[in-house]
Amino acid sequence: MAEGQERNAAQSGARAGYGPGAALLVVDVQNDFADPKGSLYVRGAENIIGRINERIREAEAAGSPVIYTQDWHPPVTAHFQKDGGIWPVHCVQGTWGAEFHADLLVLGHAPIVRKGSAGEDGYSAFSVRDPVSGDVSRTKLGELLRARGVERVVIAGLATDYCVKESALDAVRLGFRSTVLTDAVRAVDLQPGDGERALAALASAGAELVEG
């Protein structure tokens, strides 16, 4: 990146609240969600990848860690319709659908938190839930953030009404300041308006909604 571009990214990142004590969480920008050929495609998801990449560059320029999440399901899980759940098969470990979208900027040094790898529901980046027993266990994300001195989590990705929402709510519950970048998320909208209702619920819970 040229010197002028680095300066602009740093200035933009400062306005967005990046810097020491903040981290950017990039949620589930995977082929099955972000590519029109994906099994659980989120309409318009591919259109926000460029914005997410800009946020990644801004966070890097401001010295904020960037952390990615991936849905990472086994072939058989009660999370899937065929096995008693509610969702079509998606993001199966090692398949094209589970890979990050080719247009996403993936930093080689950045941690990746995989969720649902033992068949759990993996809506939140911070926790997973056994779809049969309901037992909840934590992912490694909270430890990663605290080890880096993070107090504020800035969230972009997919999908607003599921994994973004649950990740942001968990962040608040765990004592992190939570910010959702409203121009860098997209909703499934199984029911019309689900995405808007998710954002309203986040605001009510104390999360900050920021465009850009």
CA distance 186 to 180: 11
Catalytic residue among 35, 163, 165, 170: 163
- For residues 77, 80, 81, 86, the Cα torsion angle rounded to the nearest 10 degrees is 120
**Is the Cβ–Cβ distance between 155 and 164 less than 8 Å?**
yes
The two tokens of residue 21 are 């004590």
Return the amino acid letter for 145: L
Catalytic-residue membership of 140: no
Catalytic-residue membership of 28: yes
CA distance 75 to 156: 27
**Is the peptide bond preceding residue 203 cis, with omega within 30 degrees of 0?**
no
Catalytic residue among 28, 32, 35, 121: 28
Catalytic-residue membership of 165: no
Block residue for tokens 């929402």? 165
Rg (CA), the chain: 16
Catalytic residue among 32, 35, 91, 115: 115
The two tokens of residue 48 are 């926000």
Catalytic residues: 28, 115, 163
